[in-house]
Amino acid sequence: MPEPIEITFLGTGSSTPTPQRGHPAILIKYSGDHMLFDCGEGTQIQLQKARVSPMKIKRIFISHWHADHFAGLLPMIETLHLQNRKEPLEIYGPEASRFVDAISELSYWGIGFEIKTKDCGEEDMEKILDTENYEIHSIKVDHSVPSVGYIFKEKDRWNIDTKLAKKYKLSGKDLKIIKEKGIFKGIKLSKVAKLSPGRKLIYSGDTRVSKKLFNAAKNADLLIHDGTFTEPMESRAHSSVKEVAKLSKKYNVKKLVLTHFSRRYKSVKEIEKIAKKIFKNSIVARDMMEMKL
């Protein structure tokens, strides 16, 4: 069984929070890493509800610098400082260094740990993180200010078939070499193992519907997408539920989660009905909703 990718929707509202929906923030846990995608006002409270210490957060990915997506950064940084954090914190986003520098200067006493920033969004798509188990890419999206979505891609894995390994008389040490180098004593890895494609998760941030984003989301295991309005609104730089559901079906997305809802909708039942009518594998996010891939 592959290691689970655990997702908690800490905040699922839009520019103005409501008692039911906080500002955007999504927690992803995988392979021991805790990552935040956006960090709106109230994120620390939601983390407490999820029983996750902010000290565990290793990386924060900001989609853009509208306050509803980053206003939780300053109090979180202060909390980490007060809790005597020593580990570096990585923050990614368009013009991340500019905005993080400005936030950091608001403290009287400075910050007792290193913040590493990574500016992204200058290229249409770029790899911004490469770890042993996964990669993260940023992708430009269409919003009213410089904005990116994020692509989380688990690396493909070779799973050794023990019967085939025994057939070729390969020991544990031999299998380690063949996994690292792809071949051992003329035996190719493909002869004794099966390739399991890694899972792919996309977070759109705020955006109008973007063909570029949906091309990247083709066959994705999970797409988390801006669903601010039920119908297209050309005057707003956001997506509509109808458009997103249609494109998710067209691009063979396995599961769609809609988020970032306008406060005009007192109930999301109508949103869910519209989405599922077009694309049955649609889910309407709610604060503190948890998922596993």
SS3 content of the chain, % helix, strand, coil (to 5): 25, 30, 40
Domain boundaries, the chain: 6-156+197-292, 159-193
**Catalytically annotated residues:** 68
Task: Strands of 94-156 (E only): list them.
Answer: 115-119, 125-130, 134-140, 148-154
Element (H, E) at 244: helix 241-250
Kindly report the three-state secondary structure assignment for every residue of 43-101.
Answer: HHHHHHHCCCCHHHEEEEECCCCCHHHHCCHHHHHHHHHHCCCCCCEEEEECCHHHHHH
**Cα separation, 172 vs 156, whole angstroms:** 21
pTM over 0.75: yes
Secondary structure class of 240 (helix, strand, coil)? strand
For the beta carbon of residue 257, count every other beta carbon within 10 angstroms: 23
Contact by Cβ (8 Å): 37, 63? yes
- Supply the pLDDT for residue 147: 98
In tens, the pLDDT along 190-247 reads 888 888 899 999 999 999 999 999 999 999 999 999 999 998 887 789 999 999 999 9
pLDDT one-digit tens code per residue, 51-107: 999 999 999 999 999 999 999 999 999 999 999 999 999 999 999 999 999 998 888
pLDDT at position 215: 98
CATH architecture of 6-156+197-292: 4-Layer Sandwich (3.60)
